[in-house]
Chain A
């Protein structure tokens, strides 16, 4: 558990190296608010290792979601670069799965059709696609809900389906934008454990945005604490505790208190 304060320095290796999961280099972003230009992110640099579970944590307005959207390719940086597995991010890609806070399942499609839609570039035959979708429905625990429409699902079930849709094309990285933020606490706790299980089963890199400190320390291998106006990295906290973790583990509780104190 090492707490590094201050700005992380630029990566020593060449930018765009394929062995690093995510490289963010001196990234800045401004938004136009009325007549003014407001800086959302100020020269953020960060490297995410392959296979890491990394959380971006911070108060609203710290630019954590904006940062994630730039990893997804939904927003473009004004300055700086973003590369994922050696490829510069220029537009959204199925190789970077994303789950939003609102599940964004298409209401006119069934659960199965929603998930299958992300396989249209997979090159799989129709049969293989069906098999892959069934596999994912089982993976996220939605057996028997293939033919359900999103409006017939609870919030937690919808989010499971959204996760399945993001995972279907076998992305190397999963981007989660407050995926559990709209759920009740029981469902949220259950889905946190599911996320860990999926991350371990699929062996993928996860970058998750959250404002829930307990969620961040419980799930992550590293927590990036951000501060706002302008959005910057305040500190990066390694959480090298063994898994499975216990929420009541005194080391987790201490870390949570430390982070909460640093956010005040």
Chain B
């Protein structure tokens, strides 16, 4: 017999406490002293109006869609390359010796330090942005995959020996399944970095008089800053946080579905 669960148990609404307090403080502050300076402060009212307006005009949904599309495209390219390279490194010693030192060095370069190099070669268009995002996703995925494949626990490998598995069977029946949860953790991190990298790429590259504003949430924010629109700055930041959170939750929820023996 299923017990009727209240929708909002204390532990269910507890995460909402801090956001609600912040909103309350915001409302209170706007009632006490709203300077009317839209460059530094926006009232909850003005904020709501701006959300409605930018949603109705398609400006905000368009920006979110553009950012998501870019992040996912960059992630797919970077993560695929990272998986391929990580598997090669993790499964073949010679490839490990060949590639690991180079990748470990390249990994030390901060993501946005690649901008000058990439923009010199690829210009400041879409190719450059997606390349930058791919690069951001590539390293964590490649590293996690290589480490996970190379460090499968000895007892499992001994099972493979005892069962006289061929190398091919050892890889498919033992190494890959054993490494899968750590590889997925690498993919989660890669997606997170792709998401952050997308905003950076849009903000840093898609601005300026030569290139125009570009699109996406990064460009939305850059524009808001340029025109001193505090309402849009807030909208952009909150949209980033919410969409990023949704992506993150979606990925960890699906990885729990795929690997039920993990995180038990």
Q: B-contacting residues of A (Cβ < 8 Å)?
A: 72-74, 91-94, 98, 100, 102, 104, 106-109, 117-118, 120-121, 149-151
Query: How long is the Cα–Cα vector from A74 to B159 in the complex, in angstroms?
Result: 10
- Within 8 Å of chain A (Cβ to Cβ): is B261? yes
B158 with A94: CB separation less than 8 A: no
Q: Which 6 A-B pairs have the closest CB atoms?
A: A108-B177, A107-B261, A92-B161, A92-B162, A151-B261, A104-B159
Interface contact A106-B156, CB-CB below 8 Å: yes
Contact partners of A73 in chain B: CB under 8 A: 161
Surface stretch bound by A, among B86-94, B95-103, B163-171, B202-210: B163-171
Closest-by-CB residue of A relative to B161 is A92
Taking Cβ atoms with an 8 Å cutoff, the residues of B that contact A are 155-156, 158-159, 161-165, 169, 173-174, 177-178, 180, 259-261, 264
Interface contact A104-B161, CB-CB below 8 Å: no
Question: Chain B interface secondary structure, helix, strand, loop or mixed?
Answer: helix
A104 CB contact (under 8 Å) in B158, B169, B173? B158
CB distance from B224 to the nearest CB of A (A): 48
In whole Å, how far is B182's beta carbon from the nearest beta carbon of chain A? Answer: 13
- Pick the residue among A74, A120, A149, A150 that contacts B163 (CB under 8 A): A120
CB B209 to nearest CB in A, in angstroms, measures: 55
With A104-B158, A149-B261 known as contacts, the answer to whether A121 contacts B177 (CB < 8 A) is: no
In the complex where A106-B174, A108-B177, A117-B173 touch, is A94 in contact with B163 (Cβ < 8 A)?
yes
Contact A74 B162 (CB under 8 A): yes
Contacts of A74 in B (CB 8 A): 158, 161-162
**CB distance A98 to B261 under 8 Å?**
no
Determine whether the beta carbon of B169 is less than 8 Å from that of A120.
Answer: yes
Q: Are B261 and A121 in contact (CB under 8 A)?
A: no
Known: A106-B173, A150-B261. A117 touches B163 (CB 8 A): yes
Q: Contact check, B261 vs A94: say whether CB atoms are below 8 A apart.
A: no
**A98 CB contact (under 8 Å) in B162, B165, B260, B264:** B162
Please indicate which of the listed interface residues A109, A117, A121 has the most CB atoms of chain B within 10 Å of its own CB: A117
Picked from A91, A100, A120, the residue with its CB within 8 Å of the CB of B165 is: A120
In the complex the two chains form, what is the Cα distance from A107 to B177 in whole Å?
9
Min CB distance, A149 to chain B, in Å? 6
Q: Does A104 contact B261, Cβ atoms closer than 8 Å?
A: no
CA distance A98 to B161 in the complex (A): 11
Complex Cα distance A100/B158, Å? 10
